[in-house]
Amino acid sequence: MDKILTDINKNEVLKYLGYKGGKIDEVTDKMISDAMANVLETAVPRYTYKVFDIEKENGILLNGTTFMPQGKDIAELLCSCEKCVMMAATLGIEFETMLRKAQIKDMAQAVILDSCGSSGVENICNNIEKIIEEQWVHKGWFLTDRFSPGYGDMPIEQQRDFCMVLDTAKKCGINVNGGGMLVPSKSVTAIIGLSKTEVTKRKKGCEYCNNFMNCQFRRDGITCD
């Protein structure tokens, strides 16, 4: 795959902006279209990933590291896996710079750019997952869903150790700030399990989500799916 950022999903952008359906006015529609084009033109995505063997004597340990993913949810995800992929992706500092300038000059534009960025980094992650599938599925391996620090009961504090294992600062320009958040902001880290037996994907839908009771999307009558 030559380009790792291939699309920005307009429906996703509208979801992030809080639209619940109905016609979008022409001015807003053009702002969204322009922002989508600007992100595709300006962003310089970077990513890295690495495959690790899993040791399970005392919890989950990634072989060759001291990193042990914490939480029952990630343990359940990887319960049948012999290997896992750790990945990190970002839209890059170029997008971040464009977003910061917009936040100074035009907050409406900045909000739309931010939503386009969220869709863009999701597209990058989906494309990385396709690359991993192409490399492993034909060898008889099955992929789990992606799972990130901060999902379920996996502590967001593990973000720093995650990035150290992948050396994300050097390999793709991703750092972790004092609050445990990734910088640039439109960056993602995730684990994908690799199993020799077919795995059950997590059920989709609001009722299965750990954030069901506090979800702003659900309160607004829409979903994040």
111's tokens: 């909000």
Examine the pLDDT at 208 and tell me if it is beyond 60.
no
pLDDT digits (tens, 9 = 90+) for 74-133: 999 999 999 999 999 999 999 999 999 999 999 999 999 999 999 999 999 999 999 999
pTM, whole model, 2 decimals?
Answer: 0.88
Q: Looking at residues 10-34, what average pLDDT do you find?
A: 91
Calpha distance 161→68 (Å, rounded): 9
Alpha helices in the chain (DSSP H): 10-17, 26-42, 72-77, 93-105, 107-136, 158-166, 168-171, 216-219
Proportion of the chain above pLDDT 90, given as a percent: 79
Q: Looking at residues 8-36, what average pLDDT do you find?
A: 92
- Output the pLDDT for position 88: 98
Looking at 3.40.109.40, 3.50.50.60, 3.20.20.10, 3.20.20.140, the CATH number of the domain 10-219 comes to: 3.40.109.40
Calpha distance 93→144 (Å, rounded): 30
